[in-house]
């Protein structure tokens, strides 16, 4: 069975993201479970330099993770579970990001979507999903299946950071906000109707610094366009 690892931000601060993800999973008839006592993946400790504490914490999570396919909403969780657990613990976990799952479900006609050719959407590449993990296509394919994707000036490996990662939001709030402002300005220049990202950290910081442009997580965006009048014929299975 699929383990949906919600992540700290989607679980505690932006639970609309985790709720949207679970609604999509139920619609696609995918059997999944969550951890009742879900703990942090260890990303924050790693990014802020507490390596020994991070390794101890990550080792404590292994019993919940090993031998399972893990779905993440958070780009930081995805990068940590997929790459850092292998680097520091020697454990090769099977991890899929929500953007990759959504792309698969759309490709295999496991979910029905109501497209809008008049809707222009721009996409923000999160650092962890993009530059760190190399995933650029999946979220774009999902957006293009619903609406018109209009790119910002700096995208993919050249995309600006949202300003929220690496402890910057907590330690240097003004700097974090100024970085987010620059990204919002780029998004406005596209004349898009909506800004979509695939990372709860990014959504939180960008939305807090955007007064006139709506910001949605990819799962929220898909849920808004999910055709709930049609049930999937086949039960989704993640191999």
Assess contact for 73 and 200: CB atoms under 8 A: yes
Residue 150 burial class via C-beta count within 10 angstroms: exposed 0-12, middle 13-18, buried 19 and up: middle
Written as tens digits, the pLDDT of the chain (239 aa) is: 899 999 999 998 899 999 999 999 999 999 999 999 999 999 999 999 999 999 999 999 999 998 999 999 999 999 999 999 999 999 999 999 999 999 999 999 999 899 998 999 999 999 999 999 999 999 999 999 999 999 999 999 999 999 887 777 766 678 989 999 999 999 999 999 999 999 999 999 999 888 889 999 999 999 999 987 755 444 455 54
Confidence at residue 231, expressed as pLDDT on a 0 to 100 scale = 52
CA 92 to chain CA centroid, nearest Å: 20
- Same CATH fold assignment for domains 2-103 and 113-224: yes
Confidence at residue 239, expressed as pLDDT on a 0 to 100 scale = 46
Q: Domain spans of the chain?
A: 2-103, 113-224
For domain 113-224, give the fold.
Answer: Rossmann fold (3.40.50)
* Dist. CA 181–CA 179, nearest whole Å: 5
Extract the tokens encoding 58: 């990550």
Q: Cα dist. 29→160, 208, 217 in Å?
A: 36, 34, 21
Confidence at residue 234, expressed as pLDDT on a 0 to 100 scale = 45
Assess contact for 5 and 76: CB atoms under 8 A: no
Q: Cα dist. 19→10, 15, 27, 48, 183 in Å?
A: 9, 6, 12, 29, 27
Confidence at residue 228, expressed as pLDDT on a 0 to 100 scale = 78
* Dist. CA 232–CA 175, nearest whole Å: 46
- State the first-to-last Cα distance of the chain, in angstroms, to the nearest integer: 10
* Dist. CA 78–CA 126, nearest whole Å: 12
Confidence at residue 233, expressed as pLDDT on a 0 to 100 scale = 45
Domain 2-103 bears CATH identifier 2.60.40: no
SS (H, E, C) 144-178: HCCCEECCCCCCHHHCCCCCCCCCHHHHCHHHHHH
């Amino acid at each position: 069975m699929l383990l949906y690892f919600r992540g700290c931000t989607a679980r505690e601060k932006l639970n609309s993201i985790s709720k949207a993800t679970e609604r999509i999973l139920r619609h696609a008839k995918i059997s999944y479970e969550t951890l009742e006592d879900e703990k942090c993946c260890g990303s924050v400790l790693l990014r802020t330099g507490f390596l020994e504490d991070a390794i101890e914490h990550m080792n404590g999570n292994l019993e919940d993770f090993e031998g399972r396919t893990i779905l993440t909403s958070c780009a930081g969780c995805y990068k940590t579970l997929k790459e850092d657990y292998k680097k520091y613990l020697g454990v090769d976990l099977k991890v899929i990001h929500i953007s990759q799952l959504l792309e698969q479900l759309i490709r295999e006609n496991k979910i029905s979507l109501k497209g809008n050719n008049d809707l222009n959407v721009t996409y923000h590449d999160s650092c962890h999903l993009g530059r760190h993990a190399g995933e650029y296509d999946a979220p774009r394919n999902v957006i293009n299946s619903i609406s018109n994707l209009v790119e910002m000036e700096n995208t993919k490996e050249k995309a600006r950071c949202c300003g929220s990662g690496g402890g910057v939001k907590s330690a240097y709030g003004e700097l974090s906000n100024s970085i987010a402002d620059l990204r919002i300005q780029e998004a406005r220049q596209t004349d898009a109707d909506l800004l979509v990202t695939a990372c709860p950290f990014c959504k939180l910081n960008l939305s807090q610094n955007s007064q006139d442009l709506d910001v949605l997580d990819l799962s929220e965006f898909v849920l808004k366009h999910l055709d709930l009048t049609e049930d999937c014929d086949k039960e989704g299975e993640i191999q």
